[in-house]
A and B are shown apart, each in its own frame.
Chain A
Amino acid sequence: MGLLDYFRSTQSRRTNSAAVAKERLQILVAHDRGSRRDSPDYLPALKQELLDVVRKYVAIEQDQVKVHLDRDGDYEVLELNITLPDEPRPVR
């Protein structure tokens, strides 16, 4: 490594592209793993059917039903979160 390279490398230490790579990968990998582990194939269909059932009685929006599957060791917890409107208006 020559004199010029020495200064160049001091400069690149400031930019630190490896830190950027690590941060991007951590986000990406967390996302990949999330979609792999927490959403079995049936989850979207389950959500749609739940929405249809609730809509028989109360008018709600698509995003007011949240379905989430958590795994913790041997346990699987299916979490349903249905937000009802402030003034529920019956469908009929």
Chain B
Amino acid sequence: MARIIVVTSGKGGVGKTTTSASFAVGLAQRGYKTVVIDFDVGLRNLDLIMGCERRVVYDFVNVINNEANLNQTLIRDKRVENLYILPASQTRDKEALTRDGVERVLNELKQSFDYIVCDSPAGIEHGAFMAMYHADEALIVTNPEVSSVRDSDRILGILSSRSRRAERGEEPVKEHLVLSRYAPERADRGDMLSVDDVLEILGIPLLGVIPESQSVLQSSNAGAPIIMDGDTEAGMAYSDMVARFLGEDRPHRFITAEKKGFFKRFFGN
């Protein structure tokens, strides 16, 4: 049975699309047939992060309006098997994502995919609501920063009251915290909320901590999700995150500051 996972946050710029892309790649690498959908109608970006922007012909709204079918619209990733991208439309009105239309497309995707990853737009408007409404599980992407944590808490409130599962009184949406752009040395210094601080405030299970890393920008420059670069800390952190999601027991890495020796401490590096 296909699982629908929304990647959401409330606040913009925290790493939703980066996380959606790497998460979807990670699931596909492990052999699960995965589709990642861009719900950010009007401001599509997932195609850029996935490096398939020049292969977009039709989009999500075309499928909803029956102007194209899924086979014509889905973009098959050339690097990873089992991975498909459903791009958002760039020009149309946000209301084009109707609840019935989205549901019909998701039901069709459920027939042939193991995981459906929904990359939510920022905010709590229609697009974000459509992305989370049908979800079975949610990755809440949060930065260790006051406005991001507060927005995440509001999103958790909406998930628990207005999702389809909530409306139908079914088992609640399973929530996972993804703490991104984390800088352990700053947290140690008391300049940044620590992993424990954020966990205590939000009270949901921790799926992964992604360290702040220059390589994330390099990977989006190149259109290759960071998880594909297994030499980077952020890439390794995303691989761990996917493994944990699939039930493996992996200790968290990159959450404590690297111990610096006497010389480094006094003379810099």
Contact = CB atoms under 8 A, between A and B. Distances in A.
Q: Do A and B bind each other?
A: yes
B150 A28 contact: yes
Interface string A27-67: 01100110010000000000000000000000000000000
Contacts of A29: 149-150, 153, 201-202
Interface string B175-207: 000000000000101111110010011100000
Interface stretch (B14-22, B123-131, B225-233, B261-269): B261-269
A81 interface: no
Counting chain B CB atoms within 10 Å of each CB, the highest count among A12, A22, A36 belongs to A22
Contacts of B201: 22, 25-26, 29
Given A32-B150, A32-B153, A33-B153, A17 B267 contact: no
Contact of B269 (A1, A6, A22): A1
A33 B193 contact: no
Contacts, number: 62
A19 B154 CA distance: 21
A25 B150 contact: yes
Contacts of A13: 189-190
A18 to B, nearest CB: 5
A25 B264 CA distance: 35
A73 B268 CA distance: 55
A2 interface: yes
Interface in B120-161: 145-146, 149-150, 153-154, 157, 161
11 contacts: A12-B189, A13-B190, A17-B190, A19-B190, A21-B197, A25-B201, A29-B150, A29-B201, A32-B150, A32-B154, A36-B157
Interface of A: 1-3, 5-6, 9, 12-13, 15-19, 21-22, 24-26, 28-29, 32-33, 36
Given A18-B194, A24-B146, A25-B149, 20 more contacts: A1-B265, A1-B269, A3-B268, A6-B265, A12-B190, A12-B191, A13-B189, A15-B190, A16-B190, A17-B191, A18-B187, A18-B193, A19-B190, A21-B193, A21-B197, A22-B193, A22-B197, A26-B200, A32-B153, A32-B154
Interface of B: 145-146, 149-150, 153-154, 157, 161, 187, 189-194, 197, 200-202, 260, 264-269
